[in-house]
Chain A
Amino acid sequence: MSEETPTTTRKGGGWAIWLPLALFAAFVALVLIGLLRPADRNVESTLIGKPVPEFQLPPALPARPGLDSRDLANGKPHLVNIFASWCLPCRVEAPQLAALAEAGVPIEGISVRDTTEALQRFLDEHGDPFQRIGADDDGKVQLSLGSSGVPETYVIDGKGVIRYQHIGEIRPEHVPLILDKLREASR
């Protein structure tokens, strides 16, 4: 049974020695494809298709009404933007929100963990597209909407039902998508 079959250790020199590197290169290529392609990060929120949970938020600015969940069910679709003055991506999306407001889209704001002064400064600097701004000082309403970060934007139809949740900032290329969702919501 035990003929002298000398087994050599894996000896280098041949192509086999490059194999691990080649496999790893294939892995990196694969992962790069995965990272670079516009990934389908549309996490389907379980709240989509459900009515907005009830909430009443006090005004975040003295001169502007706060936000009540009943304000959203007035027959017209709304955008609800969850933002904060301390949030950098919120600055990135400000021009897109301004453009949407320009186009006549009613936008309501929920400002999370913010102060009046900081909020006022933020709006002075980056534009103010909001009709109402509710102050969500402990982030509870944000969580009840199923949002875990800022910014997030919801499309709510005229009956107060959540139709779409946009996680992260609205970039210029997302504007047509948002308009589409609003159009769907107004049907």
Chain B
Amino acid sequence: MIAELGLAALWLAAALAALQLVSGALGLTPKGAALAGIVRPVAVVQGLLALTAFICLIYVFAVTDLSVKLVAMNSHSMKPLVFKIAGAWGNHEGSMLLWVTVMGMAGGVVALIERRLPERTMLATLAGQAFVSIGFYAFLLIASNPFERLSPTPVEGNGLNPLLQDLGLAFHPPTLYLGYVGLSVAFSFAIGALVTREVGPAFARAMRPWVLAAWIFLTAGIAAGSYWAYYELGWGGWWFWDPVENASLMPWLAATALLHSVSVLAARNALRAWTIMLGVVAFSMSMVGTFLVRSGILTSVHAFAVDPERGSFILVLLAIYIGGALTLFALRAGTVTEGERFALVSREGALVFNNVMLSAILGIVLFGTLYPLVAEAMGAKVSVGPPYFNPMGALFVVPMLVVLAVGPLLRWRNDRFGRVGGRLVIPAMLVAAGAMALLVMGGVSLLPFLGLVLAVGLAWASLLPLRERKLRRTPLAVWGMVMAHFGVAVSLFGMSSESAFSIEKLVAVNAGDTTEVGPWLVRLDGVEPVAGPNWTALEAQLKVRYKDADPVMVRPQSRSFWTPPQQTSESALLTRWNGQLYAVLGGEGEDGRWQLRLWWKPFVTLIWIGGLLIAFGGVLALIGRVKSDLRRIIARDRTADRRESQGR
């Protein structure tokens, strides 16, 4: 019954999206103006209906209603409740439903609160949002109905991929989805602005909170995903340039560029066409990423989400939406009037440089991700990995980081390097000192070397915009920027340190043996069987000691799940302020010795702490922007009231 309710809500939501599109489009014409009034309410109800459907899906998963095919395929009555609920979106149909739900809700919120834009642009925007939603509703209802019943009802479900049975899963994909789909709002705004040619600071201020929010979720989602891969896959790496990871990185790069260009548009009314294009590109990258993951056209460790036929369906959607939006862009952007001009050396100049670099990195990642396809079309099978991505990316990341240190210090419109040069003396000295120290130490390869010294200089330089400001009167948005840029330095330091200083050791040991890895002594006390709710495991008892500190027990496991049968390794991590010990239990050798894989990774945690700082900087900026927007709205209302009372 609940499943049918969900399905009904989904159909209704799809119908309302169609109504929203038609009334929004007709509302733009002189004859259909009467329809304009219903667009906003329809958008709100559509979002609520999608939410209803999603809640129904969560319910059938929570109670393990095995007569619903999706539940039977992906869940299991013996799973802990939190994983049952997470199972609702840990599969194709559920995650697509989450997608349309977020999209519908976002459209509803825009309809409810956004009053700054000209009403015509709003109509076009909401119609655009509905247009995109319809495709995804159709996809759900035609090709991947999440509420399909199964007859006869099986007595037990198939379980969930045990790799995914982890708290990380409960939050990582939905976080990314919020980011992907948040960009759909920017996309719709861009379409709306192209239709009515109204591009300016007001438009940028309306779009900015959405871009910021989506970008925050993407940042947090990528950081969480990277940490999940790091501890769950048990390979000791934190980024694999895997197509699925790239699929989340590409929208992030586009959103980062968009975030900066939309600020230029808001502050200086420049970069109009470019911002519109990035708005289109950012969401396009979300869809391209989803397509690459879902279609199975690229193989990856994330292959649990593969289905070629659905891939074709998404490709058709892509062709319609992205192709359509880019055509509209090509036809209209020429008529969007040119923005304000600025000098090469100026805040805008630095931001344009940042945009160009980010776009170049985006191009590199996209090309590297697609290259196996190109090669396959020519008859060769290749895979592209770190040897391509790392140096090619660095080629553009390094100049970008240098400009990142300088850019925030420059004035809008026109400035001289000479004016800010003095403040950069200390960071430059830090870079030089760091470089010398590393050269004396020796043995650090070029990329980690550059990363370490730049990180140190950038950490200092990123704080400089706070100087000569009264800290308590500094706008939150500036704090946010400083924190995010500082986070970049922190994360960069972690990445470089992990790559430069990690120590890896693979040993076969008997119980009682002690081995050394970096500053740690590791002793295997024994290996014991343990049982969990739906798995059993072999657990190594490791007594580890950091230098002269007291010994600590860590317990890496090799787990066997039985629904479905699969082995995973649960690494054990021990965090100290200056790094992490990472232990993985391998198999038992024929001589009764156990394989242990041990890493000492100095400052590795800074990678994700930096990521969180970046996201948190975004949160601060978002709060600051929304607050000042609210203040402006209230002030305007007051003035309007006053005028009214004076007029009478």
Q: Are B273 and A86 in contact (CB under 8 A)?
A: no
Instruction: Using A21-B329, A143-B564 as known contacts, say yes or no to A1 and B341 having CB atoms under 8 A apart.
Output: no
Count the A residues whose beta carbon is within 8 Å of the partner chain — how many?
41
Q: Are A17 and B342 in contact (CB under 8 A)?
A: no
Q: Are B277 and A28 in contact (CB under 8 A)?
A: no
Option from B155, B273, B312, B344 in Cβ contact (under 8 Å) with A5: B344
Residues of B within 8 Å of A9, CB to CB, are 270-274, 338-339
Count the B residues whose beta carbon is within 8 Å of the partner chain — how many?
59
Bits for B295-337, please: 1 = Cβ < 8 Å to A, else 0: 1010000000000100110010011001100110110011110
Q: Which residue of chain B has the shortest Cβ distance to A6 in the bound complex?
A: B341
Instruction: Using A7-B352, A20-B281 as known contacts, say yes or no to A31 and B415 having CB atoms under 8 A apart.
Output: no
B239 within 8 Å of A (CB atoms): no
A113 within 8 Å of B (CB atoms): yes
A96 within 8 Å of B (CB atoms): no
B150 within 8 Å of A (CB atoms): yes
Q: Are A20 and B312 in contact (CB under 8 A)?
A: no
A55 within 8 Å of B (CB atoms): no
Residues of B within 8 Å of A41, CB to CB, are 308
A35 within 8 Å of B (CB atoms): yes
Q: Are A31 and B329 in contact (CB under 8 A)?
A: no
Q: How far is the CA of A138 from the CA of B270 in the complex (A)?
A: 63
- The A-contacting residues of B in range 413-446, CB under 8 angstroms, are 414-418
| Nearest Cβ on chain A to B337's Cβ, whole angstroms | 10
Residues of A within 8 Å of B333, CB to CB, are 12, 17
- The A-contacting residues of B in range 555-601, CB under 8 angstroms, are 564-565
Q: How far is the CA of A82 from the CA of B281 in the complex (A)?
A: 44
- The A-contacting residues of B in range 367-391, CB under 8 angstroms, are 370, 373-374, 376-377, 381
B154 within 8 Å of A (CB atoms): yes
Option from A25, A33, A35, A138 in Cβ contact (under 8 Å) with B308: A35
Q: Are A17 and B330 in contact (CB under 8 A)?
A: yes
Residues of A within 8 Å of B565, CB to CB, are 140, 143-144
Q: How far is the CA of A143 from the CA of B564 in the complex (A)?
A: 7
Q: How far is the CA of A37 from the CA of B13 in the complex (A)?
A: 37
| Nearest Cβ on chain A to B606's Cβ, whole angstroms | 36
Q: How far is the CA of A148 from the CA of B414 in the complex (A)?
A: 63
Q: Are B352 and A12 in contact (CB under 8 A)?
A: no
Q: Are A28 and B338 in contact (CB under 8 A)?
A: no
Bits for A7-42, please: 1 = Cβ < 8 Å to B, else 0: 111111100011011001101101111110101110
Option from A12, A30, A39 in Cβ contact (under 8 Å) with B273: A12
Instruction: Using A12-B333, A35-B295, A35-B308 as known contacts, say yes or no to A27 and B151 having CB atoms under 8 A apart.
Output: no
Instruction: Using A35-B295, A86-B150 as known contacts, say yes or no to A2 and B414 having CB atoms under 8 A apart.
Output: yes
Q: Are A12 and B335 in contact (CB under 8 A)?
A: yes
Q: Are B323 and A7 in contact (CB under 8 A)?
A: no
B349 within 8 Å of A (CB atoms): yes
Q: How far is the CA of A4 from the CA of B303 in the complex (A)?
A: 54
Q: How far is the CA of A32 from the CA of B314 in the complex (A)?
A: 12
Q: How far is the CA of A143 from the CA of B560 in the complex (A)?
A: 14
Q: Are B297 and A6 in contact (CB under 8 A)?
A: no
Q: How far is the CA of A5 from the CA of B345 in the complex (A)?
A: 9
Q: Which residue of chain B has the shortest Cβ distance to A139 in the bound complex?
A: B158
Q: Which residue of chain B has the shortest Cβ distance to A25 in the bound complex?
A: B323
Q: Which residue of chain B has the shortest Cβ distance to A33 in the bound complex?
A: B377
| Nearest Cβ on chain B to A31's Cβ, whole angstroms | 6
Q: Are A4 and B312 in contact (CB under 8 A)?
A: no
Instruction: Using A2-B415, A21-B326, A31-B297 as known contacts, say yes or no to A115 and B152 having CB atoms under 8 A apart.
Output: yes
A118 within 8 Å of B (CB atoms): yes
Q: How far is the CA of A11 from the CA of B333 in the complex (A)?
A: 8
B75 within 8 Å of A (CB atoms): no
Residues of B within 8 Å of A35, CB to CB, are 295, 297, 308, 311-312, 315
Q: Are A34 and B343 in contact (CB under 8 A)?
A: no
Residues of B within 8 Å of A139, CB to CB, are 158
B198 within 8 Å of A (CB atoms): no
Q: Which residue of chain B has the shortest Cβ distance to A144 in the bound complex?
A: B565
Q: How far is the CA of A27 from the CA of B284 in the complex (A)?
A: 12
Residues of B within 8 Å of A32, CB to CB, are 315
Q: Are B297 and A18 in contact (CB under 8 A)?
A: no
Residues of B within 8 Å of A118, CB to CB, are 152
Q: How far is the CA of A1 from the CA of B315 in the complex (A)?
A: 49
Option from A21, A34, A140 in Cβ contact (under 8 Å) with B377: A34
Q: Are A11 and B338 in contact (CB under 8 A)?
A: yes
Q: Are B377 and A30 in contact (CB under 8 A)?
A: yes
B524 within 8 Å of A (CB atoms): no
Residues of chain B touching chain A, judged by Cβ–Cβ distance below 8 Å, are: 150-152, 154-156, 158, 270-274, 277, 280-281, 284, 288, 291, 295, 297, 308, 311-312, 315, 318-319, 322-323, 326-327, 329-330, 333-336, 338-339, 341-345, 348-349, 352, 370, 373-374, 376-377, 381, 414-418, 564-565
The 15 sampled A-B contact pairs (Cβ below 8 Å) are A1-B418, A7-B348, A7-B352, A11-B273, A20-B277, A20-B281, A24-B322, A24-B326, A30-B370, A31-B315, A33-B373, A35-B295, A41-B308, A86-B150, A138-B156
Q: Given A1-B417, A7-B349, A13-B334, output 18 extra A-B contacts at Cβ < 8 Å.
A: A1-B416, A2-B343, A4-B414, A6-B341, A7-B341, A7-B342, A7-B343, A9-B270, A9-B273, A12-B336, A20-B280, A30-B377, A33-B373, A34-B373, A35-B312, A35-B315, A41-B308, A86-B150
